[in-house]
Amino acid sequence: MATFSYLGLNAQGKELQGQLQAADLNEARTLLRGQGLRILELQQGDLEKRSLLDAMRAFGRWFHSGLSVRNSDMMLFYRQMQLMLRAGHTILEALEAAGKLASRPRLTMQLERCADRIRSGSSFSAALAMENSTFPRIAIKLAEAGEASGELDSVFDRLAALTERRADIRRQLMTALTYPSIVMLAAIGVISFLVGSVVPRFAVFLQSRGKKIPWAAKTMMDIADWLQHWGGLLIMGIAGTIVGLVLVRRFPIICLTMDRIFLHVPILGSTLMAAAMAQATWTFGLLLKSRLTVLEALRSITQIVGNSALSSALNSACEQVLEGRALAVALDRQPIPPLVRHMAAVGERSGEMESVMEALGKHYQKELDARVKFLSSMIEPVLTLLIGGIVGFVYYAFFQAVLAVSTGGG
């Protein structure tokens, strides 16, 4: 037996250093992995005293290991697993290879732990269930269905498509809101500079020459004075309101009420509804195609719908289905759209529920695309009129002050 020194990270990302007895490097590596450690350094004898550069590298590895797993990382993992399983790899071989190819150390450690559990006799879905911080319930349910049917490669294909669809919907909504946010911030900066710096200087110049301050410039001065005295409180009030809204959403009843209100906001509400239904119905069809029961599929989509009002309605529908009600009857509740209930009835009569729901998901996706484009086309002219009007008034006050100086008038 020889003495080996190691440096590694535990499941919480904490750096651990120590020594152990083993016959060789392979046995030492196996023993450390059995303790749930991700090995950073392992050598026979004592680790040399690390330099500052080594310490910085170790800190960098620790920081990198704590980074969350992105949607792009999960899509890549699902695609890799699909390809390797179709190429004839066992699930254990595919997991080991995917762990080495993962770009995030956190995902690598989780996949290594999954591989260790499978070696100990655990099923693949049970191993994933132990890593629920990264793998959602829907992925675990699909893995169970894939194990039962022997079609895990198809399951990973569907998981990749599902993750990509969710990312696309989120990207569409973010794109619709990013442009107006940037324009609004830029406009606020320009207007603040003009109101707080340029116009007051002209006003002081006019007062020093005994001129009457034009009404537009006087209005700008009053606004500048008000912002100077109360601007800090205004910013704190806005920030406090935003933080307060984020905090109160942690209370289920308040979150439910707010989400119900959002669904009734003109234009925005219909866009949020289309996004939620595009994701929910398409995923529902995908789960049914993976041979999950209607009840299991319905329970799974309640967790991916971002709006708590819709999620609550779907949970109530789950209870109705559990009592033996037809799906179309269970979905007959607000705020679930009537089209979803109608198409569920069609799917039940035809026996092709998965195809009907996938087609409905594509319909809502097209509706979401159209509404995002409409929302963008509405936001641009409204912002142009609003910001252009404010900037125009500031320039009017500015040139009115210039004319007052040049003509001697008021």
Give the pLDDT confidence of 68-108 residue by residue, as tens digits. 677 788 888 888 888 888 888 888 888 888 888 887 777 88
Is the pLDDT at 56 greater than 60? The verdict is no
Q: How confident is the model at residue 63 (pLDDT cuts 50, 70, 90)?
A: very low
Give the pLDDT of residue 67: 55
Q: Look at the alpha carbons of 22, 23, 28, 30 in this order and tell me if their dihedral is positive or negative.
A: negative
Q: Are residues 53 and 137 in the same domain?
A: no
Q: Are residues 229 and 199 in the same domain?
A: yes
Number of domains in the chain: 3
Give the pLDDT confidence of 286-338 residue by residue, as tens digits. 888 877 888 888 888 887 787 888 888 888 888 888 888 888 888 888 888 99
Cα–Cα dist 356/346, whole Å: 8
Q: Are residues 87 and 153 in the same domain?
A: yes
Mean pLDDT, rounded, for 42-61: 55
Is the pLDDT at 365 greater than 80? The verdict is yes
Residue 268 lies in a domain: yes
CB proximity list for 302: less than 8 A, separation 6 or greater = 311, 314, 315, 318
Q: Are residues 403 and 257 in the same domain?
A: yes
Q: Which residue has the higher pLDDT, 205 or 259?
A: 259
9: domain CATH number is: 3.10.20
Mean pLDDT, rounded, for 370-378: 79
Q: Are residues 36 and 95 in the same domain?
A: no
Mean pLDDT, rounded, for 51-74: 58
Q: How confident is the model at residue 174 (pLDDT cuts 50, 70, 90)?
A: confident
Q: Which residue has the higher pLDDT, 390 or 206?
A: 390
Q: Which domain holds residue 77?
A: 71-164
What is 239-302 written as a DSSP string? Answer: HHHHHHHHHHTTSHHHHHHHHHHHHTSTTHHHHHHHHHHHHHHHHHHHHHHTT--HHHHHHHHT
Is the pLDDT at 266 greater than 70? The verdict is yes
Give the pLDDT of residue 47: 54
Cα–Cα dist 377/372, whole Å: 8
Give the pLDDT of residue 124: 86
Q: Which residue has the higher pLDDT, 378 or 11?
A: 378
Mean pLDDT, rounded, for 99-120: 83
Residue 102 lies in a domain: yes
Is the pLDDT at 410 greater than 70? The verdict is no
> Last residue of some domain: 21, 40, 65?
65
Residue 169 lies in a domain: no
Is the pLDDT at 203 greater than 70? The verdict is no
Q: Are residues 159 and 232 in the same domain?
A: no
Give the pLDDT confidence of 135-162 residue by residue, as tens digits. 877 788 788 877 777 778 888 887 888 7
Q: Are residues 56 and 85 in the same domain?
A: no
Residue 182 lies in a domain: no
Is the pLDDT at 11 greater than 70? The verdict is no
- What is the maximal distance between C-alpha atoms in the chain? 100
Residue 171 lies in a domain: no
Q: Are residues 6 and 111 in the same domain?
A: no
> Last residue of some domain: 50, 65, 80?
65
Mean pLDDT, rounded, for 167-191: 75
Q: Are residues 158 and 239 in the same domain?
A: no
Percent of the chain's residues with pLDDT above 70: 85
Residue 326 lies in a domain: yes
Q: Are residues 25 and 80 in the same domain?
A: no
Which residues are paired to 18 by β-bridges? Answer: 6
Residue 371 lies in a domain: yes
Mean pLDDT, rounded, for 347-368: 88
Query: By three-state DSSP, how is residue 33 classified?
Result: helix
Is the pLDDT at 367 greater than 50? The verdict is yes
For the chain, what is the mean pLDDT? 79
Q: Are residues 129 and 259 in the same domain?
A: no
Mean pLDDT, rounded, for 19-44: 76
Give the pLDDT of residue 232: 78
Q: Are residues 285 and 349 in the same domain?
A: yes
249: domain CATH number is: 1.20.81.30
Specify the range with the lowest mean pLDDT, choosing from 233-242, 248-257, 354-363.
248-257
Residue 125 lies in a domain: yes
Cα–chain center distance at 143: 23
> Last residue of some domain: 164, 197, 215?
164
Q: 150 burial class (0-12, 13-18, 19+ CB within 10 angstroms)?
A: exposed
